Amino acid sequence: MSGRLAVVGLGAGSAGWVTPDASAALTEAEALYGYAGYLDRVPPRPGQSRHPSDNREEVARARAALEAAAAGVKVALVTAGDPGVFAMAAAVCEAIEHGPASWRALDVAMVPGVTAMLAVAARVGAPLGHDFCALSLSDNLKPWDTIERRLDAAAGAGFVLALYNPLSRARPWQLGAAFERLRRHLAGSTPVVFGRAIGRADERLIVTTLAEADPANADMSTLIIVGSATTRVITRDGLASLVYTPRTGELGP
């Protein structure tokens, strides 16, 4: 059986962040699967079939890619960012665990990439320079109560927070509720960064504070970083501010 499946992370929006391993996996593939918006970032190649799907069909997409690989096709399943961070790698593993026994014998490889929080952090300085958490605000697959408990635990223990999937048309209130929750633990002056479509032509970066943070500045293409009590902002004449979290620092009493 010659089929195989590579789950490929393109990195956040910029072509400059697509790794050589990711490029090689895309070149070698006979069939590309993925959300249509991500497939659009991959240059066409003759003889390679393309199978775009809707953004919310993650398990169906994983199964379709595995079926093709099991039939002998060299498949690349394309994701933005890193496939292992709130993306397709977990959906593929879920499908393997619950699918036919033959899928466990498949050659499956995950190709890592620059996930959104690293791209946003790099643009603004080093807000993830110390201990941090990555948390999805989507309550499609877990209860909101669990998300609140994680916000409490992370902010209370001095982790910086990277918030994925902050809101969507179907989930309009979650980011505002998360900011409210975090204000119980963190001062209003805590730095907050909104990074939208980082690396793309329509990239937008906002540095603000927890007191001023406006959920209306976010959409599903936005990654939000909420600092800890030690996160600092360096203002610079005529240049963007730098936001960073020092490598030192006690949690406090």
The reply to whether 18 sits near its own copies by the rule CB under 8 A is: yes
Q: With CB under 8 A as the contact rule, which of the stretches 43-51, 122-130, 178-186, 206-214 interacts with its own copies?
A: 122-130
Give Cα separations from 137 to 87, 126, 148, 150 (angstroms): 14, 22, 9, 10
Minimum gap (Å) between residue 222 Cβ and its own copies: 17
Q: With CB under 8 A as the contact rule, which of the stretches 8-16, 28-36, 43-51, 200-208 interacts with its own copies?
A: 8-16
Minimum gap (Å) between residue 42 Cβ and its own copies: 15
Minimum gap (Å) between residue 246 Cβ and its own copies: 6
Q: Give φ, ψ of 175 to 5 degrees.
A: -65, -40
Minimum gap (Å) between residue 249 Cβ and its own copies: 6
Minimum gap (Å) between residue 122 Cβ and its own copies: 4
User: Given candidates 115, 174, 190, 221, which one binds its own copies under the rule CB under 8 A?
Assistant: 115
Rounded distance between C-alpha atoms, residue 31 and residue 235, angstroms: 48
Sole residue written with tokens 């996996």:
25
Q: What length is written for the chain?
A: 253
The footprint of its own copies on residues 27-46 (CB under 8 A) is none
| Residue 39 or 160 having the CB closest to its own copies | 160
Q: How many helices (H) and strands (E) does the chain have?
A: 7, 13
The footprint of its own copies on residues 137-176 (CB under 8 A) is 141-143, 145-146, 149-150, 152-154, 156-159
Give Cα separations from 62 to 74, 132, 172 (angstroms): 14, 29, 27
Contact status, residue 217 vs residue 135, Cβ threshold 8 Å? no
The footprint of its own copies on residues 80-99 (CB under 8 A) is 82-86, 89-94, 96-97
Rounded distance between C-alpha atoms, residue 181 and residue 151, angstroms: 7
